[in-house]
A and B are shown apart, each in its own frame.
Chain A
Amino acid sequence: MVLASTHPSSLRAARRLLELPPAVRRSFWSTASAAAIERKPEIFDLVCVGGGPAGLSLVSALRSDPATKGLKIALVDGQDLTTSRTPGNEGFSNRCSSLTPASLHFLKEIGAWNNVNNIRTQPYHGMEVWDGVSGSKISFDPVDQTPGLLDSLAELVPGSRFAASKRKYETGDPTTVATICENGNLTAALLQQLKESGGVEILDKTKVESINLGPEPENEEALDLSQWPVLTLPNNRQLAARLLVGADGANSPVRQFADIPSHGWDYGQNGVVATLQLDRSFTADEIRTAYQRFLPTGPIALLPLPGNRASLVWSTTAPFATKLKQLSPPDFIAMVNAAFRLLPIDIDFMLTHHESVSPASELAWRETSTNSKSLGLLNTFPRVAEVQEGSVASFPLRMRHADTYTGHRVALIGDAAHTVHPLAGQGLNLGLADSESLVKSIAYGMETGMDIGSCWCLDGYNADRWAKNNAMLGVVDKLQKLYSVGSGPVVWGRSLGLDLVNKMGPLKGALMGAAAGTK
């Protein structure tokens, strides 16, 4: 997904300085490299750079839509996309995503979900989110608990439809909040789908060497590619794209080519991921719950995987993340258990003084003197028993949003367009929604006879997605900031707010709907 064609910034700056003005550059290129480019660039309707879930789903969706089925498509990725999947349910990847019902609907629609190895995915039906400082919490529980104070008051109002609207999401079949799926599983399924349908040139293990505008036409009759992006691949192969799609990750070379600035900030946090084993095993049809606790250093989440497995996403400060990765497996397990159970200051202490104290013994004695119920811990919360060997990894967390998703003959989707904090598990879902929307725009363009690389065709995509993504990015970013506060009035305010929302069924239902991406 990440292309290796990122140059050191100094080199880039120097090159930019030495570059000729575009008009001259073009003529210079066309004359100087006329010998080098003996072949004319191959012309594609759509070239997608990046074979991650966003890019692959875009191409799959284009193949499945009758309006866009005829497009000549190439997919370029620097990595080997054909890595084999792990069969059965032994050993899970630490890179998992929770797919919302909207994303799942899209994947089912394009037919890719049939290829996903289902015994390695896990839907979950409930969600418990609590404040690590005050212990106030919000629970999205399919099997409802005792009614809250506001519920009881509202039920007293004659003719109130409060209860009915609440039941709508709380009763009936246990509705799926989201489905956890390994990124590798999804990618493999999409790839299989593409191979089965054919018609797409998949160029993996192929590094994009450069992206430039095409040469000036040599004469009046020749095809004018001067406004087309032309990708140079190894072996002097050149692809000209009517529409170039950048699905090439956070450091997108396509975005750099299109000169679209991307703004945002680094959180100074790292996401520590790991695959864990719990102390109890779940059968496939049991109701599962995802847990997230907001600590002032960042949220920690435990997402269910099949059987007794679970996926951990722990956002924490960069020094703490480094320490967590250095811990021995028993210490790491103790730290994870502690992070869900003890006071935030205990966790800070254990990670600051990890050389002198043993996390396991600290956890043992602190647990007896901590009232974990007042910290919001549920009785049903599982205990982490083991960590899968070699599965602890970390990545820096940042927020980035491109100023626009489209340029002339360029569109950005997925992480190339936006990077989001993982606390709401929305990153991949936004990427899938992007490709769904872009496919819609392209299909509309095809049906109405537009040039699919033109702004007329692409503007619909930008208009549809940018504001929505910006809202989601903003909400997630504000939540991160709100929950980074460790004490004082902010904590009281947010706890009161969370407790109130927790007691208001319909509002909770609406929130759930927003998070699930239902329209």
Chain B
Amino acid sequence: MASTLSAQRTGAALHKLLRLPPPLRQRTFSVLNRPQPNYPGHVPLNFIERGALAIGSAFGSLIDPYRHDLIASLGEATAKPYFVTRLRHAMISHPTGRRILRDKPRITSKSLSLEKLRQLPENTVGRAYAAWLDSEGVTPDTRDPVRYIDDPEEAYVMQRYREIHDFIHAITGLPIIIEGELAVKAFEFANTVLPMTGLSLAAIVRLKPMERKRFFEVYGPWAMANGLKAEEMLNVYWEEELETDADELRARLGIEMPPNLREIRKKLRDQKRAEKIAREGEK
């Protein structure tokens, strides 16, 4: 009798020992026990899943830099802690940024009429944006929705960053070929400090030696200097700046126009072709 009692007691003690403490028990988060999404489309992740997503998408996007979905996941998986919170705080404490957070505008082909933008006067931000979209053959709708950031407002900040990315291309005139994309990413890294933008710079290894040299000598320094000097790009209400003169906006934000990448490449290409023709002529 006594022995069964003591056995029972040891069993209970053992059970108590093996059981997780109550605060941990509540927090357990596994494949079987997932929390509710905080906003439509939200996918809650735990620490390990987030880490795996970060590493997986980092390698995936390095192998195929045109997988924008992987780049997007990488951005979301590495934005917390601190980085996206910092951006959100920067927006909250800026009058315009705060207004953006309140209105939560989305940039899509529905919210922005490209037809109307094309009619705007020469050298306005809207016209430059439309012209840039046309010349690169992209639309504002190619952006993925944010899924892996837990706080709804921080998710919006990430979404907004993704949507204004094209505006940064437009006002700096940098194309979406890898070299131009890297210059923009370096600029964004200096400006937003989002880790994904910095990690994307690893794609430098994919550049040709000539391009890499140009990145380190021209576009890299330009991006760093201007990204740090300029105001937060997220605090610009781009929808309201469509009719602003692009030069004026650049001056207000403190951005210098980088050397025109397409022209440089074209010039070099022409030069090479001329040399080739000359060489062939000699033969």
A contact residues vs B (CB 8 Å cutoff) = 146-149, 152-153, 156, 343, 345-346, 348-349, 353, 356, 365, 369-371
* CA distance in complex: A349, B152 (Å): 21
Whole-angstrom distance between the Cβ of B266 and the nearest chain A Cβ: 47
Residues 90-102 of chain B, each 1 if its beta carbon lies under 8 Å from chain A, else 0? 0011010010011
Inter-subunit contact A349/B21 (CB<8 Å): no
**Chain A residues with Cβ under 8 A from B89's Cβ?**
343, 345
B23 touches A365 (CB 8 A): no
Q: Is the CB of B102 within 8 A of A153?
A: no
Cβ-closest chain A residue relative to B21? A152
Most buried by B among A146, A148, A345, A348: A345
- Closest chain-A Cβ to B180's Cβ sits at a distance in Å of 35
Query: In the complex, are the beta carbons of B92 and A345 less than 8 A apart?
Result: yes
On whether A369 and B22 interact (CB within 8 A), knowing A343-B89, A345-B93, the answer reads no
B102 engages A148 (CB within 8 Å)? no
**CB–CB A349/B92 < 8 A:** yes
- Extra pairs beyond A153-B21, A346-B92, A349-B93 (16, CB < 8 Å): A147-B22, A148-B23, A149-B23, A149-B24, A152-B21, A152-B23, A156-B16, A343-B89, A343-B92, A345-B89, A345-B92, A348-B93, A349-B92, A349-B98, A353-B95, A356-B95
B90-117 residues with Cβ-Cβ distance < 8 A to A are 92-93, 95, 98, 101-102
The distance in angstroms between the C-alpha atoms of A147 and B24, with both chains bound, is 11
CB distance from B278 to the nearest CB of A (A): 62
Chain B proximity of A204: nearest CB distance (Å) = 51
Q: Which residues of B contact A365 (CB under 8 A)?
A: 102
Q: How far is the CA of A346 from the CA of B88 in the complex (A)?
A: 11
Q: Are A152 and B92 in contact (CB under 8 A)?
A: no
Q: Considering only CB atoms, which chain B residue lies closest to A353 in the complex?
A: B95
Contacts of B152 in A (CB 8 A): 369
Give the one of A152, A156, A346, A365 with max B CB within 10 A.
Answer: A152
* Chain A neighbourhood of B102, CB < 8 A: 365
Q: Looking at the complex, which one of B93, B101, B151 makes contact with A371 (CB distance below 8 Å)?
A: B151
Shortest Cβ distance from residue A335 to the other chain B in the assembled complex, whole angstroms:
16
Please determine whether B98 and A149 come into contact, CB atoms closer than 8 angstroms: no
Q: Does B17 contact A (CB under 8 A)?
A: yes
Shortest distance from the beta carbon of A329 to any chain B beta carbon, whole Å: 25
Per the bound structure, the CA–CA distance linking A146 and B101 in Å amounts to 37
- Chain B nearest CB, measured from A62 CB (Å): 53
B-chain residues with CB within 8 Å of residue A348 when the two chains form the complex: 93
Q: Which 4 A-B pairs have the closest CB atoms?
A: A152-B21, A369-B153, A345-B93, A149-B23
Most buried by B among A148, A153, A343, A369: A369
Given A156-B17, A365-B102, A369-B153, A146-B95 contact (CB < 8 Å): no
Distance in angstroms from B150 CB to nearest chain A CB is 9
Q: Distance in Å from the Cβ of A248 to the closest Cβ of chain B?
A: 44
Give the size category of B's interface with A. 10 to 19
Q: Is the interface of A mostly helix, strand, loop or mixed?
A: helix
Q: Can you list 19 A-B contacts with CB-CB less than 8 angstroms, sorted by A residue number?
A: A146-B23, A147-B22, A148-B23, A149-B21, A149-B24, A152-B21, A152-B22, A152-B23, A153-B21, A156-B16, A343-B89, A343-B92, A345-B89, A345-B92, A346-B92, A349-B93, A356-B95, A365-B102, A369-B101
Query: Which residues of chain B are within 8 angstroms of A371 by Cβ–Cβ distance?
Result: 151
> A residues within 8 A CB of B151?
371
Q: Measured between C-beta atoms, what is the minimum distance from A210 to chain B in Å? A: 54
How distant is the Cα of A372 from the Cα of B22 in the complex, in angstroms?
23
- For chain B residues 217-263, which have a beta carbon within 8 Å of chain A? none
- Given A349-B98, A369-B152, A369-B153; A146-B93 close (CB under 8 Å): no
Residue of B nearest to A361 (CB): B102
The smallest C-beta distance from A503 to any residue of chain B, in angstroms, reads 9
> Digit string of B19-58 for contact with A (CB within 8 Å is 1, else 0)?
0011110000000000000000000000000000000000
How far apart are the CA atoms of A146 and B22 in the complex, in Å? 8
Within 8 A of A (CB), among B116-156: 151-153
Q: Given the complex of chains A and B, what is the CA–CA distance between A349 and B101 in angstroms?
A: 14
Chain A residue with minimal CB distance to B150?
A: A371
Q: Write out the residue numbers on chain A whose beta carbons fall within 8 Å of the beta carbon of B22.
A: 146-147, 152
Residues of B44-98 at the interface with A, using a CB-CB cut-off of 8 Å, are: 89, 92-93, 95, 98
Q: Which residues of A are found within 8 Å of B95, using beta-carbon distances?
A: 353, 356
Chain B hits for A349, CB < 8 A: 92-93, 98
CB B102 to nearest CB in A, in angstroms, measures 6
Could you tell me the distance between the alpha carbons of A369 and B153 in the complex, rounded to whole angstroms?
A: 6
> With A and B bound together, what is the CA distance between A370 and B22 in angstroms?
27
Closest B residue to A371 by CB, please name it: B151
Chain B residue at smallest Cβ distance from A148? B23
- Distance in angstroms between the alpha carbons of A345 and B98 in the assembled complex: 11
A148 CA / B93 CA spacing, docked (Å): 36
Q: Which residue of B lies closest to A370 (CB)?
A: B153
Whole-angstrom distance between the Cβ of B261 and the nearest chain A Cβ = 38
CA distance A349 to B102 in the complex (A): 14
User: Which residues of B sit under 8 angstroms from A156, Cβ to Cβ?
Assistant: 16-17
State A158–B279 Cα separation when bound (angstroms). Answer: 91
Residue in B21, B24, B89, B102 with the greatest tally of chain A CB atoms within 10 Å: B21
Q: Which residues of B contact A370 (CB under 8 A)?
A: 153
Q: Which residues of A contact B153 (CB under 8 A)?
A: 369-370
**Closest approach, in angstroms, between the C-beta of B14 and any C-beta of chain A?**
11
Instruction: Please give, as numbers and ranges, the residues of chain B lying within 8 Å of A147 by CB-CB distance.
Output: 22
Residue on B nearest A158 in the bound complex, by CB: B13
B11 to A: closest C-beta gap in Å: 15
Min distance, Cβ B19 to any Cβ of chain A, angstroms: 9
Output the nearest chain B residue to A352 by Cβ-Cβ distance: B93
User: How distant is the Cα of A370 from the Cα of B154 in the complex, in angstroms?
Assistant: 10
Complex formed: what's the CA distance from A146 to B95 in Å? 42
In the complex, what residues of B have CB within 8 A of residue A369's CB? 101, 152-153
Contacts of A353 in B (CB 8 A): 95
Q: Chain A nearest CB: distance from B256 CB in Å?
A: 30
Residue of A whose beta carbon sits closest to that of B19: A152
Separation of A146 and B102 alpha carbons in the complex (Å) = 37
A361 CB to closest chain B CB (Å) equals 9
Residues of chain A contacted by B17 (CB below 8 angstroms) = 156
Chain B residues contacting A148 (CB-CB under 8 Å) are 23
Q: Which residues of B contact A346 (CB under 8 A)?
A: 92
Which B residues lie within 8 Å of A356 (CB)? Answer: 95
Residues of B within 8 A of A345 (CB): 89, 92-93
Q: Which residues of A contact B98 (CB under 8 A)?
A: 349
Closest Cβ of chain A: how far from B123's Cβ, in Å? 31
CA distance A147 to B16 in the complex (A): 14
Bound CA–CA A147/B21 (angstroms) = 9
What's the Cα separation between A156 and B14 when bound, in Å? 10
Least Cβ–Cβ distance between A286 and chain B, in angstroms? 28
A151 CB, nearest partner CB in chain B, Å:
8
Chain B residues with CB under 8 Å of A146's CB are 22-23
Give A371 to B153 CA distance when docked, in angstroms: 9
A348–B98 Cα distance when bound, in Å, is: 13
Give the residue name and chain of the B residue nearest to A365 (CB): B102
* Closest Cβ neighbor of A349 among chain B residues: B93
Smallest CB gap from B23: residue in A: A149
Nearest-Cβ distance from residue B151 to partner chain A, whole angstroms: 6
